[in-house]
Structures are given as C-alpha cells and as structure tokens.
Amino acid sequence: MKKVTKAIIPAAGLGSRFLPATKAMPKEMLPILDTPTIQYIVEEAVAAGIEDIIIVTGKHKRAIEDHFDTQLELELNLKEKNKTALLEKVEHSTNLANIFYVRQKAPRGLGHAVWTAKQFIGDEPFAVLLGDDIVDAEVPGIKQLINVYEQTGKSVIGAKTVTKEETERYGIIESTEQNGRMYKVDKLIEKPKLGTTDSQLAIMGRYVLTPDIFEYLDEQEIGTGGEIQLTDAIQKVNENSEVYAYDFEGNRYDVGDKIGFVKTTMEYAMRSELKDDLVPFLEKLMVKYLK
C-alpha cells in the first residue's frame, strides 16, 4: 500500500461571502489573529506527514504564492532590527513544505478543482483539505483519516454530525454500519433538500482519496449547483469499491462564513496573550448591547 504523502488544497473560490474584502484579497489570506487561514491548513497537512502540497488557485490569488515564498527584503529588514521573533514567523511560513500551484481557470466546482491536480497526484493516494475548515485536534484531523486509510486501503471522508436544519448545506453520508467513529458509506448525497434524508452525518472538509477517483472526475459530470461535485465522484467510487467516513476527534471551525470566522477569531484570541485585555472589553460590549 502506497503512503499518503501528497495533498491538494483547493483555493480557487471567489470568496463572495466576504465581499468587498475579497475583491482584491483571497479569502484564504484572511487572518485568524496574525496567521492567514490557509496557513493553518498547510500546517495541519505538514503535521500529518504530508511532504508535497499542491494549492489549486484562481485569478487574483497571487498573494497566496507570495505568502509561502521567500521575502528577502522583509527578512533582511527584520534581521537588521534584531526582530528575531517576527523573523522566525516569516521564515516559518516559507519553509513549511514543498508547495506547488496549479490554476483552476474557471470556478466549476470542487470536483473540477481536484481534477486539475491530477497530473501532480499520478497513481498515488492523496489528501484533500478544504480551506473553509480549521481543525484543532491533538492528532491532526487529516492524520486521523490517513490512519483509517492505512487500516482499510480505501478512501476516507472526514465527518461530523450536524443539525437537521444544516443538512442542506453539506454533503450527507448515509450509513447503516458503524464501528466506533468509523462508518461504512452506503450513499453520499450532495446538499440534499430538507426532509429527503434521515442522516445528519455531514462531510467536513477532509478527505483521503484513492487515485481511482480520477476515472470519474474525468467524466466532468455536472451535479448540484451546475458544478462538478467531488461528492458525486466519491459516490461512484463507493459503488465499485468501498468508502469509509470517520468522525474525527477535535474541534472543527467553519471559517467559510462571517459568523464562523468571527467566532473562530474570538476563540483563538482568548487562547492568546490578548485574553487579559479582551475579557474586560467583551464584558463592556455585553453590557452595552444586551441592555
């Protein structure tokens, strides 16, 4: 069995939920405190043992490449001013991993974004990490999925239970066979209408996939929303083989919409040196706005 050493991070979305901020800046570069969201995703992949990462970008995404590149003028300036701590942070993002880039020329869906990295992946299993989800866990979220892949040799989907009202926002996993946190997938449904499924087990932005997925992505089949859906291709893999879902341990933060982004920023701030100043400020806000 080949090891999982490659990962795809799709980052070609338009970021329309964060306009006008994302008119000129990639949503993946919006920071949680002082760190762009995409860096948290890259760090998770690296902590899981991923060696090579390909980021699928689109128009106006050059800032992502610049962030992970060397910035000699800035580094020299920090050295001259003896700002060692800041220099280490800058160099950390540069030296994280072997990062490559491919452009998705049109926003045709997650399945199409993964398909654009086909030549990079070849015939190896690979991880997919979506930038809208930050996973904070003792064992990296994607590493937990890699462990399941190494046990089964099959594709594995990260999963969490959501409310019934939320099911239409996600790909939903139907399963009748469960072993602890692991589920054998019966069927995958992309963003089902309310009331069309009893399952509340949702796909949560982490995948380990076998290379046969590309046989189905090659078909470029249009699915929900007029896009090429990764969920549809995984369902076809499941019909011819087996696919598992894993309810990974840890906290998942949704930074793909405004409220999730704000909540994540607040929690990370409360864990930081900002806490002592932030707590009395929030207490004042509570008094002011909850009269």
- pLDDT digit string (tens) for 23-46? 888 999 999 999 999 999 999 999
Q: Kindly report, residue by residue over 92-127, the tens digit of the pLDDT.
A: 999 988 999 999 888 788 999 999 999 999 999 999
* Contacts for 60 with CB less than 8 Å, ≥ 6 apart: 24, 26
* Mean pLDDT value of segment 216-225: 86
* Mean pLDDT value of segment 161-184: 92
Mean pLDDT (the chain) is 92
State yes or no: pLDDT of 51 exceeds 80: yes
- What are φ and ψ of residue 162, in 5° steps? -120, 170
Residue 200 tokens read as 């509340």
End-to-end CA distance of the chain: 61
State yes or no: pLDDT of 291 exceeds 80: no
The pLDDT of residue 213: 95
What percent of the chain clears pLDDT 70, i.e. is strictly above it? 100
Q: Kindly report, residue by residue over 131-147, the tens digit of the pLDDT.
A: 889 999 999 999 999 99
Domain with CATH 3.90.550.10 in the chain: 6-254
Task: State the DSSP string of the chain.
Answer: -----EEEEE-----GGGTTGGGTS-GGG-EETTEEHHHHHHHHHHHTT--EEEEEE-TT-HHHHHHTS--HHHHHHHHHTT-HHHHHHHHHHHSS-EEEEEE-SS---HHHHHHTTHHHHTTS-EEEE-TTEEEE-SS-HHHHHHHHHHHHSSEEEEEEE--GGGGGGSEEEE-SEEETTEEE-SEEEESPPTTS----EEEEEEEEE-TTHHHHHTT----GGGS--HHHHHHHHHHHS-EEEEE-SSEEEE-SSHHHHHHHHHHHHHTSTTHHHHHHHHHHHHHHH--
CB burial string 171-189: b at 16+ within 10 A, e below: bbbbbeeeeeebbbbeebb
Query: What confidence category does residue 78 fall into, taking pLDDT thresholds of 50, 70 and 90?
Result: very high
Q: Are strands 182-184 and 177-179 parallel, antiparallel or unpaired?
A: antiparallel
Would you call 163 exposed, middle or buried from its count of C-beta atoms within 10 A (0-12, 13-18, 19+)? exposed
The reported pTM is 0.92
Residue pair 64/55 in contact (Cβ under 8 Å)? The answer is yes
The pLDDT of residue 60: 82
Among 79-83, 87-91, 159-163, 223-227, the range scoring the smallest mean pLDDT is: 223-227
The pLDDT of residue 190: 86
Fold of domain 6-254: Spore Coat Polysaccharide Biosynthesis Protein SpsA; Chain A (3.90.550)
Residue 65 tokens read as 């490449």
State yes or no: pLDDT of 268 exceeds 90: yes
* Mean pLDDT value of segment 171-177: 92
A 10 A CB-CB count for 277 gives: 10
